[in-house]
């Protein structure tokens, strides 16, 4: 039973749940009311989210409110950030290419001006 943030956010339903309770804390029924699936199914998703620390539970009488605690998402964005330089490098060389095109275009424009100006 692997339970890390990467796996937690892999499921679209769980991402929706995160979206909902990030706005304001809700209890299971309130969350389940917005889905087709049963309360138990939502309960299981929420359990996974609490087990990996993306949600905390605040009890009020018999009701339990789920609160988003999304700092753990940093694990994911940190992992992604280490690769950003790779695709930025690619984009940089694209930019360079475009600049080169532009320089060439300038020359062409000059030629045009000289050769075809009306």
Binders of a second copy in range 28-87 (CB under 8 A) = 68-71, 73, 76-77, 79-81, 83-84, 86-87
**Contact indicator for 42, 17 with CB cutoff of 8 Å:** yes
Residue 69 CB, nearest approach to DNA (Å): 16
Closer of 95 and 104 to a second copy (Cβ): 95
What DSSP string describes 13-79? HHHHHHHHHHHS-B-HHHHHTTSSS-HHHHHHHHHHHHHTTSEEEEEETTEEEEEE-GGGHHHHHHH
Is residue 9 near DNA by the rule CB under 7 A?
A: no
Is residue 27 near DNA by the rule CB under 7 A?
A: yes
Is residue 95 near a second copy by the rule CB under 8 A?
A: no
């Amino acid at each position: 039973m692997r339970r890390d943030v990467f796996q937690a956010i892999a499921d679209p339903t769980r991402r929706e749940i995160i979206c909902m309770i990030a706005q304001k804390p809700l209890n299971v029924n309130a969350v389940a009311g917005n889905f087709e699936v049963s309360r138990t199914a939502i309960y299981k998703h929420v359990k996974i989210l609490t087990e990996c620390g993306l949600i905390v539970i605040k009890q009020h009488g018999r009701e339990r409110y789920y609160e988003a605690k999304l700092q753990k998402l940093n694990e994911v964005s940190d992992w992604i950030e280490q690769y950003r330089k790779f695709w930025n490098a690619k984009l940089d060389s694209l930019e360079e290419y475009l600049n080169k095109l532009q320089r060439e275009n300038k020359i062409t424009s000059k030629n045009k001006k000289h050769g075809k100006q009306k």
